[in-house]
Amino acid sequence: MTESTARQKVEEPTREQVVEYLRNHPDFFVDQDELLRSLTLPHDSGQAISLVERQVHLFREQRDTLRREMVELVSIARHNDRLFEKSKRLLLQVIEAKTLNEMAAAVDDSLRGDFGLDAASILLFSDTPDRVRAGQVQGALHIVDASEAQRRLGTLLEGDRAICGHFHEEERSFLFPDRDEPIASVAIMPLRHQGLVGVFAVGSCQLGYFDQNMGSLFLSYISDTLSRLLPPMLKQHDTAAPVAGLASESDPA
């Protein structure tokens, strides 16, 4: 090897240096038409293609990827719009409800009809035996003993966010009592506003319908509203119930 050849070998840039240079000079090929025509790259078909053809191919792949992502984003946006409209209708019905029975019926009808779910349940916790013995008010609403709920649901009551999953049979039967068809998948949200007042649960007979990775923004939004409206509505119901009972006793036979 001659001295000039050795010097040329030493001064030959590495691949990394070439890549770095081209990255810092993206316009390098602007006046290099002959060089562009002479460069070839292997293609998936096994044939050699020019650098320009390779760039066109990459641009088309990027375009197709962006198009798929755009279609997916539009689909998600439309789905969220539908959820928002359904949630809006439900919350307006809940806010306009005059009694606890009307509120419970609105929740039950909306979640089964608009949302297409198989079950909905609102469990309100109480330490008052008479209130617990009254049991179910109407539709999706149940009044249960607070200590029994703690024993049956345990750690499900500790968080502030929705929990989704399969759950144990004991938990599912407590959340959705008196069902002939078993619930296979559940989303549960604590009703918590200045203290835990109960839980809001929705269920599906389809296994895996709710999972830990699903979004629960709209369900949490509904539960936040219910947790603020239900306590005063429950007090109103307790106040009206004894009056109604006395009126019934005073009616002539």
Statement: residue 130 has pLDDT above 70: no
- Type and span of the H or E element at 199: strand 196-204
Compute the mean pLDDT over every residue in the chain, rounded to the nearest whole number: 76
Cα angle value 123/207/135 (rounded, 5°): 20
pTM over 0.95? The answer is no
Contact 104, 76 (CB under 8 A): no
pLDDT grade for 141, boundaries at 50, 70 and 90: confident
Evaluated on CA atoms 225, 231, 237, 239, the torsion sign reads negative
**Domains of the chain, residue spans:** 15-54, 97-229
CA–CA separation, 182 and 179 (whole Å)? 6
Alpha helices in 97-199 (DSSP H): 100-113, 129-134, 146-153, 169-175
Greater pLDDT, 148 or 129: 148
* Most confident by average pLDDT, 86-90, 100-104, 134-138: 86-90
**pLDDT reading at 80 higher than 70:** yes
Give the pLDDT band of residue 68 (cuts 50, 70, 90): very high
Query: Do 126 and 146 meet the contact criterion of CB atoms below 8 Å apart?
Result: yes
Confidence of residue 214 (pLDDT cuts 50, 70, 90): low
Lowest mean pLDDT among 51-60, 122-131, 132-141, 160-169: 132-141
Architecture of domain 97-229 in CATH?
2-Layer Sandwich (3.30)
The three-point CA angle 147-124-131 to 5° equals 75
